Amino acid sequence: MTMRFEAEPYPLESEPDCTALLIIDMQRDFVEPGGFGEMLGNDVSLLRSTIEPCRRVLDAARRAGLTVIHTREGHRPDLTDAPPSKLRRGGLEVGIGDKGPMGRVLVRGEYGHDIIPELAPLQSEPVIDKPGKGAFYETDLDLILKNRGIRTLIVGGVTTEVCVHTTVREANDRGYECLVLSDCVGSYFPEFQRVALEMIKAQGGIFGWVADSREAVRVLGQARSPVGARETPAA
Ligand code: TIU
């Protein structure tokens, strides 16, 4: 069965077994106080409105049997995969690799680095640990998507103009079609949120489509991947 999302700038069609939900960097370090987001000087409460819409779409995607993939931005404990330029950036008092209230900032295995419990991955859902802003850079995301025959990505997560944009642009150049859900992505800057969404869908959808969680849940509610749910969540 073909899914048809009413989106901007025009409807997007895809097959459930060729479509994945990609949830980007919904980590404590970005959405909870005391993490990397706050250390950069941001009000992290602005991102928290994305949690409920992401949870509803995640639930619908799991029920429809879609591939679900999560990403986390962060580094090895020895920071050997962190470019010195990234470590220096911002001249932060407490920055990447330093000890903060939620453990070492943006370091894999630390409390702050992990995905928030509301959106915790199932065992069957790949988690991509990425050193950069884009989820394709120096990761096996492209390989996983190709092996699953995925061509369309439904995208949520944070932040809209940084890791979401970078990932969607990378995906677009690799031939994937991306549907970004406006209320499932968030920015620390309201004006960036608005403009970042405009940029995606301008010029005939120059690198993607935009819809919202309601539309995604509506369409996914009628869909079922022939591959079937790989792991059914507890009701
Ligand atoms: N600072 C900011 O807006 N974002 C990031 O550093 N990473 C992600 O977007 N995940």
- Rounded distance from Cα 85 to ligand 1 centre (Å): 15
Catalytic residue at 25? yes
Note the pLDDT of residue 198. Answer: 98
- Known active-site residue 140: no
- Residue 58's nearest CA partner among 50, 48, 49, 68 is 68
Question: How far does residue 158's CA lie from ligand 1's centre (Å)?
Answer: 7
Q: Which percentage of the chain shows pLDDT scores above 90?
A: 94
Round to whole Å and give the CA distance between 200 and 8. 9
The DSSP output letter for 54 is: H
Please identify which of the residues 54, 163, 178, 184 carries the catalytic annotation: 163
Q: Given the CA of residue 162, which atom of ligand 1 is nearest to it?
A: 9
**For residue range 153-204, what is the model confidence (pLDDT) as tens digits?**
999 999 999 999 999 999 999 999 999 999 999 999 999 999 999 999 999 9
What is the token pair recorded at 17? Answer: 């077994």
Distance, CA of 156 to CA of 13 (rounded, Å):
18
- Residue 233 is predicted with a pLDDT of 52
- What are the pLDDT digits (tens) for 96-128? 999 999 999 999 999 999 999 999 999 999 999
pLDDT(20) > 60: yes
Burial class (CB in 10 A: 0-12, 13-18, 19+), 148: middle
Choosing from 25, 114, 129, 183, the catalytic residue is 25
Kindly report the protein residue whose alpha carbon is nearest to atom 10 of ligand 1. Answer: 163
**Which residue, among 128, 174, 99, 161, has the nearest Cα to 27 in the 3D structure?**
128
What pLDDT does residue 226 have? 79
pTM given for the model: 0.96
Q: CA-CA distance, 177 to 138, in Å (whole number)? A: 21
Ligand 1 proximity of 40 Cβ (cutoff 6 Å): yes
| 42 membership: H or E segment, kind and range | none
Q: Probe ligand 1: pick from 106, 137, 163, 166, max atoms within 8 Å of CB?
A: 163
Reported for 120-123, long-range contacts at CB under 8 A and 24+ positions apart, including other chains, are 121/68, 121/70, 122/62, 122/68, 122/231, 122/233, 123/231
Label residue 235 by pLDDT band (50, 70, 90): very low
Q: What is the Cα–Cα distance from 61 to 109, expressed in whole angstroms? A: 27
Smallest CA-to-CA distance from 106 within 184, 34, 188 is with 34
Ligand 1 mean position, distance from CA 55 (Å):
20
163 is annotated as an active-site residue: yes
